Chain A
Amino acid sequence: MNRIDKAFNNLREKGSKALITYITAGDPDIDTTAELIVEMGKAGADIIELGIPYSDPLADGPVIQRASARALNKGIRIADIMNMARSVRRVTQVPLVYLVYYNSVFKYGIERFVKEAHDVGIDGIIIPDLPLEEKGEVFDITRQYGIHLIPLVAPTSHERIARIVENASGFVYCVSTTGVTGERDQIHTDIKAYMEEVSRYTSLPKAIGFGISKPDMARQFRDYCDGIIIGSAIVSLIEKASSKDEMLENIGQFIRNIKQALR
């Protein structure tokens, strides 16, 4: 069974919600990424998204753009990320999901990318610029390798939701608001109504992402969804830390606080 499905099953039995965390692979360097994965898993992250750095991350706000640029300046390659994932798999079974822009997958070779991801123990792939109109060239291959191609829905999706979630697996990434990734003080979308709309079309777990940065926001949404996704708030902690120990400590503490709010 795919580790993502197992994670949601376990959480459901416990009546708890998933905390999905995001970091950019190679930021600040690939060895630290491996340590962060292990540390986040210990602190309570249920699923970890690993961003594959890209030169033109148009769904991302400034924090994650800067993380991408830092990683690329270090010369990070997809092979480095695959190798790191493989080594991390020896020490943790936390579900891992790649967040990758379509051109990286396309240019690398779709089948090659998915096969290697599968071989190193990746459980899902999120491609933020691949709407349902274009997903055909990827979907059959991910299914063949047992990797979930995580669908994204937005508050503007409405009647498109039915087709987006058709045959989908893993979980549904529910973008909380229009816009790009980044911390927000408030989310104006009526999350309850939005999640009810998504639930009309699918029984897959629903995870809310984009803009969530604080325990009270997690608390506010926990009853309407099966998980929340936090990215920029964590990447900011990476950016601000003055030492690796401080980084690991701050992120661990941040995750424990959010996890507490989700109980």
Chain B
Amino acid sequence: MPGRFGIFGGQYVPETVMNALIELEREFNAAIQDESFMEEYRYYLREYAGRPTPLYFAQNLTKKLGGARVYLKREDLNHTGAHKINNVLGQILLARRMGKRRVIAETGAGQHGVATATGAAMFGMQCEIFMGKEDVKRQALNVFRMRLLGARVHSVESGTGTLKDAVNEAIRDWVTRIEDTFYVIGSVVGPHPYPTMVREFQKVIGEEAKAQILEKEGRLPDYIIACVGGGSNAMGIFHPFYHDREVKLIGVEAAGLGLETGKHAATMAMGSVGVLHGMKTLLLQDSEGQIMPVHSISAGLDYPGVGPEHAYYKEIGRAEYVAVTDREAVEAFVELSRTEGIIPALESAHAVAYAMKLVPQLSKDKIVIVNLSGRGDKDVETVANLPEVEL
């Protein structure tokens, strides 16, 4: 069935949006087979977003960890500071092709909101962003950036006031303005065709990484590590390696204060199958299907679900999913800053934290690529306010 990854995926949405999804699927399929559309997409990736991003050999970190060779895929060097722009450029070009003048988006950490506001500004579109009130507070810098770019930011008060509720509110808005509005979803989540579409616009990360590692090392890596909230940066780098079975794919979730505390966002480790935001996937929920509050120090991982394709990768054993705590992520945040002069986003710091555990156990001839999904400017204040961090 189209839009399914095993049992996961689907289109669990109100009837009002079904025609819009069908139209979107049709237009998307036509667009990605249209060489002029793809050429335009690649043009903006190259000339506007700044691709290709480097695959940087982290010499200092490699030396310090004393195991495998560590490479960083530098998505933090994209325009707007994260991988989110790859997907946004694709979807905004598609919106323009479909004649839409208004785009909406949800955002957690604000990186997707900033990317969408940026794309909307460049293409002269009206833009509204939905963001949980908790995230508006902890990501004030990104809220300011979105407003500066001309977007209207809605602070979502309902539910837990985080990313999940921002998605609900964006869907409600979309249902209401279905005729003139394009909903730019920020991760490999939501009803079909979004998980597939976002993956197609993000797979440039993995395609580049593959070509770059072959050039630098003459072979494929042994491990690829990426953080997983909804999972778009991870799917973007994983997917082009799907058939390369010797490459181990590792997704890193947020264990928050620890899996045993119940305050985490580790959907893969602790979730069960359910339906949220139009998709069947793994969710953090109670025995009656009520979605549970989640916690992560990084707003971008603070999501009780995960993209359906990741749930499928887990089920078939193609990828392994692990979790690291807030504390471990903060340590990695500081460590990468000190060692390599690169301040990672707290989301990306989860991937770095797991690499710091894994790499010392590996022999020196192994190769590990860590997807550095975004830069950490937005998180500096969060980390500075932690009592355990002394600068």
Is B291 in contact with chain A by the CB < 8 A criterion? yes
A-B pairs, 7 with minimum CB distance: A107-B289, A179-B176, A103-B289, A154-B16, A55-B290, A103-B275, A55-B291
Could you say which of B15, B168, B171, B275 has the most chain A C-beta atoms within 10 Å of its C-beta? B15
Name the A residues within 8 Å of B17 (CB-CB): 156
Q: Which of B158, B176, B283, B291 contacts A178 (CB 8 A)?
A: B176
B275–A156 touching, CB < 8 Å = no
Q: Identify the stretch in A10-18, A89-97, A129-137, A222-230 within 8 Å (CB) of chain B at 4 or more residues.
A: A129-137
Instruction: Tell me what chain B mostly uses at the interface: helix, strand, loop, or mixed.
Output: mixed
A56–B168 touching, CB < 8 Å = yes
Interface pairs (13), CB distance under 8 Å: A55-B159, A58-B171, A78-B288, A102-B275, A103-B289, A106-B274, A107-B285, A129-B278, A131-B18, A133-B18, A160-B15, A179-B176, A180-B176
Is B149 in contact with chain A by the CB < 8 A criterion? no
Q: Which of B12, B274, B288, B289 contacts A130 (CB 8 A)?
A: B12
Is A153 in contact with chain B by the CB < 8 A criterion? yes
Is B10 in contact with chain A by the CB < 8 A criterion? yes
Chain B: minimal CB distance from A159 (Å):
9
Given contacts A61-B172, A134-B10, A160-B18, contact A178 B275 (CB under 8 A): no
B10–A133 touching, CB < 8 Å = yes
Q: Which of B16, B274, B283, B291 contacts A156 (CB 8 A)?
A: B16
Is A85 in contact with chain B by the CB < 8 A criterion? no
* Contact residues of A between 49 and 70, Cβ < 8 Å to B: 54-56, 58-59, 61-62, 65, 69
Q: Which of B15, B274, B283, B287 contacts A152 (CB 8 A)?
A: B15
Is A40 in contact with chain B by the CB < 8 A criterion? no
CA distance A58 to B278 in the complex (A): 10
Name the A residues within 8 Å of B13 (CB-CB): 129, 131
B172–A106 touching, CB < 8 Å = no
A65–B288 touching, CB < 8 Å = no
Q: Which of A56, A77, A152 contacts B14 (CB 8 A)?
A: A152
Name the A residues within 8 Å of B49 (CB-CB): none
Name the B residues within 8 Å of A180 (CB-CB): 172, 175-176
Could you say which of A69, A101, A175, A179 has the most chain B C-beta atoms within 10 Å of its C-beta? A179
B14–A107 touching, CB < 8 Å = no
